Amino acid sequence: MNLDRLTTLCNCFGVSSNEQDVAEIMKPAFAENADQIVRDNLGSIFAYKKSKHENAKIFMIACPMDECGMMVSKVNDDGTLTFITLEDIAVSSLLHQRVTILCRDHSMITGVITNRKNVLEGGSEAKSIHDLVIDCGYTDKADLKVLPGDLVSYASNFFVENNIVYAKALNPRVLNEVCMEVVENLKEHELDFNLAIGAMSQSTIGFRGTKTATYTIQPDAALALCVFDNGKPNAKLNGGVVVGMYDKGMIPSKRLINDFKGFTSANGYFGMIGNDSSFIHKTVKGCPTVAVGIACGNTGSANEMVAINDIDALVHTLTDYILHLNNEMITDFGFGEHHV
């Protein structure tokens, strides 16, 4: 596992709608190890291995590109910032966290999320987002160059201990890293099907790039990479690869999931929250899709946790699975030719 590259990924600013720094990190690995790079108009980025076979099917492996974050809604007269969350982050996950604000000129400012109370006398509690502001250490609005609409991310340090990575944005950065390592592993291999593997813009915020990327790639079958909550049955740190058996967004393709589970030793996970598969499987003409990933602890917080063993296991499993696949199998996952 390329720890240096994962560190760079986690430390970059990749909040929903501003993912180009992530694309820049992924480009070299994709350019050197695949035939071409495919983008959609929202900035999603895929490595594309083009098969020499005629009528080759298209297999897509896709993960999100954006990390969860916030947006400044008002610069207060006292120099603090009122903000909204872009995704469903609990208020308790926000209080006291360090954040980075991306200004219009691309410079970054550090701040801390605080409640408006005197902690020593009044206690530390925040019931709603209206209790919170970002404090950047300015006391006058006039000195701040932050504007309404500026994006905000967590600002946690990246560290590894006991083979566990602690950082912000491990979801989806570990998945971005997995995509690059799989492409690197496959460099010397020729496939009899087309393979698109990469990351989709504005997915975490609401599967927006999921739709545009699926439209662009037009897959015949797909694996959606995602994280699963640590601690639930069948999803634990160091527990290896997990496959989604059910969630409220998709019932997975039977033939594809039976083949995947039969070939790998992935654990089945029953959850509620959907992931990219929710939209990949039903966008354009639709295609057999399965969600695959690893456990992540504290997802959506400033300090997520992922096991290095799991990252490696996912890379190896996906590499082996792609080498096990062929055009005929991908065809058989589906339901016959699409007649227009």
Partner 1 sequence: MSNLELLDKISSVAGISGYEDEVSNIVKSEYQKLNLKYYQDGIGSVVGEKCADENGPKVMIAAHMDEVGFMIKSIDDQGFIRLQPIGSWWSHMLPGQWFKVVNRNGEQFYGLMGSRATHGLPQDLRSKTMDISELYLDMGVENKQQLVDLGIEEGNMVVPMPHFQIMNHTDRVVNKAFDDRVGTYIMIEVAKALENKKHTPLYLANTVQEEPGLRGARTATDCVRPDICFAIDTTLAGDTPLDSNICRLGDGVVLSMIDSNSIAPRKLVAYVEDICKKYDIQHQYAVFNKGGTDSGNIHKTNAGVINMTLSIPIRYMHTNSSMISMKDVENCIILLTKLVEEINSEIFDQVSMK
> Applying CB under 8 A, does 39 fall inside the site for partner 1?
yes
Options 69-77, 159-167, 182-190, 234-242: segment touching partner 1 (CB under 8 A) = 69-77
> Applying CB under 8 A, does 17 fall inside the site for partner 1?
yes
- Cβ proximity of 161 and 25 under 8 Å: no
Task: Indicate the residue type of 92.
Answer: S
Options 2-10, 161-169, 211-219, 316-324: segment touching partner 1 (CB under 8 A) = 211-219
The mark string for 236-275 relative to partner 1 (x by CB under 8 A, - otherwise) is ----------------------------------------
Dihedrals phi, psi of 198, to nearest 5 degrees: 175, -160
Binder among 28, 31, 78, 104 for partner 1 (CB under 8 A): 104
Task: Indicate the residue type of 214.
Answer: T
> Applying CB under 8 A, does 286 fall inside the site for partner 1?
no
How far is Cα 35 from Cα 301, in angstroms, rounded to an integer?
37
Q: Residues 6 or more apart from 111 whose CB is under 8 A from it? A: 81, 98, 99, 100, 101, 134, 135, 136, 137
Provide the minimum distance between the beta carbon of 108 and partner 1 in the complex, in angstroms, as a whole number: 13
Given the complex with partner 1, which of 72 and 256 has the nearer CB atom? 72
> Applying CB under 8 A, does 60 fall inside the site for partner 1?
no
Options 37-45, 117-125, 248-256, 292-300: segment touching partner 1 (CB under 8 A) = 37-45
Q: Residues 6 or more apart from 74 whose CB is under 8 A from it? A: 81, 82, 148
The mark string for 141-160 relative to partner 1 (x by CB under 8 A, - otherwise) is ------xxx-x---------
How many residues of this chain bind partner 1 (CB under 8 A)? 33
How far is Cα 178 from Cα 311, in angstroms, rounded to an integer?
7
> Applying CB under 8 A, does 74 fall inside the site for partner 1?
yes
Please, which contacts does 254-258 make with residues 24 or more away whose CB atoms are closer than 8 Å? 255/288, 255/332, 255/333, 256/221, 256/288, 256/289, 256/290, 256/333, 257/290
Provide the minimum distance between the beta carbon of 317 and partner 1 in the complex, in angstroms, as a whole number: 30
Given the complex with partner 1, which of 71 and 291 has the nearer CB atom? 71
Provide the minimum distance between the beta carbon of 39 and partner 1 in the complex, in angstroms, as a whole number: 4
How far is Cα 273 from Cα 284, in angstroms, rounded to an integer?
22
Binder among 28, 36, 41, 78 for partner 1 (CB under 8 A): 41
Provide the minimum distance between the beta carbon of 43 and partner 1 in the complex, in angstroms, as a whole number: 4
Structure tokens at 305: 């946790």
Options 158-166, 206-214, 226-234, 318-326: segment touching partner 1 (CB under 8 A) = 206-214
Dihedrals phi, psi of 37, to nearest 5 degrees: -110, 130
Q: At what angle do helices 170-185 and 3-11 cross, to 10 degrees?
A: 140
Task: Indicate the residue type of 172.
Answer: P
Interface positions with partner 1 (CB under 8 A) = 16-18, 20, 23, 39-44, 71-74, 84, 86, 102, 104, 147-149, 151, 201-202, 205-206, 208-209, 211-212, 215-216
